[in-house]
Copies of this chain bind each other. A is one copy, B any other.
Amino acid sequence: MMIVMQDGSTDEQVAGVVEKLHEVGAEAHLSRGEFKTIIGAIGDRERISQIPFEAMPGVDSVIPIMRPYKLVSREFHPEGTVVKVGPALLGGDTFVVIAGPCAVESEEQLISSAKAAKAAGASILRGGAFKPRTSPYSFQGLGEEGLKLLAEARRVTGLPVVTEIVDVRDVDLVCGYADMLQVGARNMQNFLLLQEVGMQEKPVMLKRGLSNTVEELLMAAEYVVRGGNTQVVLCERGIRTFETATRNTLDLSSVPLVKHVSHLPIIVDPSHATGKHELIAPLCKGALAVGADGVMVEMHPDPKAALCDGPQSLSFEEFSRMMEELRTIAPPLGKKM
């Protein structure tokens, strides 16, 4: 951490900052220029970060230097982590496709989707049993009934299932059915939920919040890993910007960026990011090309009758056609499918 002193700060003010650093066992390196004095703080990041330097007299600004996460950083763990979900491996040389309906609506809807996903080559089935919805008047999911249907779909197709957990009180319930726990975008900074899933032995898919930076996503993952659960897969699903033509703005540059600084796998969800089914196939190809470990895609037997997110869902036929395209381009991009 660098502490930049104001122009004209006094020796006493500089000494005050240095003393604070010494109190937490850190070293202070002074650089005095003609106009500016800068103090470099070197020591325990946790203890240093809790000193409110900006409120001290003579301090102009504080500039963090070390990354605020550790366990999820590539510096700490240079090799890429591979996360196992049933037979599927995320983070290795396979491009993994997760598919299924936004929400579990009925046995018929889910089983037919699971079969179509499996037939087209998907490796993991998705489906929401608990749906966080902006409006209290929207469909909120089938709850445990939905979890049972997911287990049934796994039995029928052999596909492992991922489903969202929204309530800390439901951890045991959801773990009883799911192969992978999804923490949704709106809960990315629900730190209690992160702590709970951090204590489970199930892999976790952590979606980037609508207004969270990549660094905050990694810090949220740090919560999970610090609890002991290292099986974390990140998911880029678009951020909120001024652009209104798409529901959110898919930030594909986050994929190579995460690969650079972290060892965790990262996948892409273009369905929620765009809200438009005609953009799904191009963006899945884009995700593969920028180096993602997989994609998560919404599909539905009859998108126009979906209780949730119909406009962004692919029909079985569209999904199958897209899988063909991905299979063609995966090998030259260095990925298996």
Contacts from A to B (Cβ < 8 Å): 2, 4, 7, 27, 29, 31-36, 38, 40, 42-43, 45-46, 49-50, 52-57, 61, 63, 65-66, 68-69, 75, 132-139, 166-169, 186-187, 189-192, 209-211, 213-216, 219, 222-223, 226, 239-246, 249-257, 260, 270, 273-274, 276-279, 282-283, 285-291, 303-307, 309-311, 313, 328-329, 332-333
Interface of A (DSSP majority class): mixed
CA–CA, A214 and B241, complex, Å: 12
* Contact A135-B219, Cβ < 8 Å, known A213-B244, A282-B291: yes
User: A31 touches which one: B31, B242, B304, B306 (CB < 8 A)?
Assistant: B31
By the criterion CB–CB under 8 Å, are A279 and B306 in contact?
no
User: A249 touches which one: B219, B241, B309, B310 (CB < 8 A)?
Assistant: B241
CA–CA, A50 and B102, complex, Å: 14
User: A282 touches which one: B52, B132, B255, B303 (CB < 8 A)?
Assistant: B255
* Contact A36-B65, Cβ < 8 Å, known A31-B29, A214-B245, A260-B278: yes
- 16 chain-A/chain-B pairs, Cβ below 8 angstroms: A29-B31, A33-B42, A36-B66, A56-B304, A135-B219, A167-B168, A168-B168, A209-B211, A213-B244, A242-B242, A243-B254, A250-B251, A253-B273, A255-B282, A282-B289, A282-B291
CA–CA, A191 and B134, complex, Å: 8
By the criterion CB–CB under 8 Å, are B214 and A211 in contact?
no
User: A332 touches which one: B29, B186, B243, B329 (CB < 8 A)?
Assistant: B329
CA–CA, A52 and B301, complex, Å: 13
By the criterion CB–CB under 8 Å, are B239 and A256 in contact?
no
- A-B contacts besides A27-B33, A167-B192, 5 pairs, CB < 8 Å: A33-B43, A53-B311, A54-B311, A256-B282, A256-B283
User: A283 touches which one: B252, B282, B329 (CB < 8 A)?
Assistant: B252
User: A2 touches which one: B2, B75, B189 (CB < 8 A)?
Assistant: B2
